[in-house]
Amino acid sequence: MLRVGSKLLIAASAMVALAGTSGCMSLDEDGRAEFPATTSLAFFPQKTQTQLLLNDLPPPQRPVAIAVYGFTDQTGQFKPTEAGQTLSRAVTQGAGSMLVRALQETGDRKWFTIVERERLDNLLKERQIIREMRERYLGETQLNTQALPALLFAGVLLEGGIVGYDTNTVTGGAGAAFLGIGGRTEYRQDTVTVYLRAVSVRTGEVLTTVTASKTIASTAIGGSAFKFVAFKELLEAEAGVTTNEPNQIALQQAIEKAVYGIVMEGADLKLWEFADSEAAWPMVWAYRQERDGIYSAGDMQRAAERARKTPPLIIKEEKSMGKSES
C-alpha cells in the first residue's frame, strides 16, 4: 500500500504542476501580450495589436467632429450552453463604449473630436440644472454663453453594429494513446463581424462603409495515464487545460480594425487628409493591399511591427572641406 500511495502522490503532484503552469499561459495570436488567467489584483489590460495600429496613424490635416448615437448587437443571438440557450447575449452589449474608445485612440487622440450623443438626455438634464441654479442664485434671466456655451455639433455620424457571430466555424481535435498513456487536443473557432459606416450630417450621404471580422479561438489539451500497480488495483491520472479567447477582446479588436478601415477609406476617397500625405502614403497603400486580398492581415501586422521596431532614419549632410580658390 505504501507503493500505491507514493504513486498516487506523484500523479497528484504532476496534475498540480500542470494546473499551475496553465495560469501563466498567454495568447499571443489574439493581439494581447501575457494575460494572466488568475490574479488577485486588478490590472489594466495591455494594448492590443490593432490598438497600437490606431495609435501609429499619422495626424490628420484637421480633426474630424464625429458622433456615435449607438453601436448595438444586431445578431439577436443568445449564449449557447449544453442544455440549450440562456438569456445572456452571445456578445457583449458594450460595443458602443468600445467604439468611442477606439476613436479616441486613433492617431494618439488627434484624429477625431467625439461629441456625446449616446446618452444625450443626461447631458441635457445637467445643462438644464445649471441654467436653473444660475437663474435662482445669480438672478440671471438670460443665458450666459460664457458660463454655458453651446454644444458642439458633429459633421460625421458613425452608424453600424455587430452584424454576425458565427459559432463553431472550425472544429477539430486529435488524440493518441499507447500502453496506457495518451494525450488529446481539441480546437474550436468562432467568428465575430462588425459593420461600420460614416454618414454626412450635411447631406445624409453614406460616405463609406467598412466590415471587419475577428476569429475567437478556443483550445483544449489534456493527457491521461493508467497502470495496474497491484492485483485489482488500477492507478489512473488525468490532467488538462482549456484556453478560451475572451469574446470582449475579440470584439474590441474587430471594432478597432473597422475604425482603422474607416480612416483609410476616407483618406483614399479624399474625404479627409493626413497632415503629411507623403508620410502616410505607405500605410494607405498597405491598406489597399490588405483590403483587396493581395496580402493577409498577418503579413500587414508583421510589417507594422517591423516598422515600429526600426529606428528612424537620420540623414546627415557632409560638408566638403575643399580648399578655396583665390
Mean of the pLDDT values across residues 218-235?
86
Q: Is 190 in a helix, a strand, or coil?
A: strand
Any domain includes 213: yes
In a domain? residue 88: yes
The answer to whether residue 81 is domain-embedded is yes
| Residue 101 within any structural domain of the chain | yes
| CA angle, residues 94, 96, 99, in degrees to nearest 5 | 115
- Is 144 contained in some domain? no
Q: How confident is the model at residue 29 (pLDDT cuts 50, 70, 90)?
A: very low
pLDDT, tens digit, 9 for 90 and up, residues 253-262: 999 999 999 9
- Can you tell me the distance from the alpha carbon of 104 to that of 318, in angstroms, rounded to the nearest whole number? 43
Write out pLDDT tens, residues 201-210: 999 899 999 9
Q: What's the CATH code of the domain at 238? A: 3.40.50.10610
**Are the CB atoms for 123 and 148 separated by under 8 Å?**
no
34-38, 94-98, 143-147, 190-194 — most confident range: 190-194
d(CA 122, CA 235) in angstroms, rounded, equals: 65
Instruction: Name the pairing type of β-strands 78-81 and 181-200.
Output: unpaired
Number of domains in the chain: 1
% of the chain with per-residue pLDDT over 70: 78
pTM of the predicted structure, to 2 decimals: 0.76
Q: What is the pLDDT of residues 107-161, one digit of tens each?
A: 888 999 999 888 888 888 988 898 888 888 887 878 777 788 888 888 899 999 8
Q: Look up residue 223 and give its three cell numbers.
A: 493527457
Burial of 169 (0-12, 13-18, 19+ CB in 10 A): exposed
Residue 310 is assigned to a structural domain of this protein: no
* Res. 22: pLDDT tops 70: no
Q: Does 135 fall in a domain?
A: no
The amino acid at 95: A
DSSP state of 232: T
In a domain, 204, yes or no: yes
Q: Is the pLDDT of residue 58 over 80?
A: yes
Find the domain containing 252 and state its range.
2-36+43-117+154-304
CA-nearest of 201, 300, 207, 293 to 257 is 300
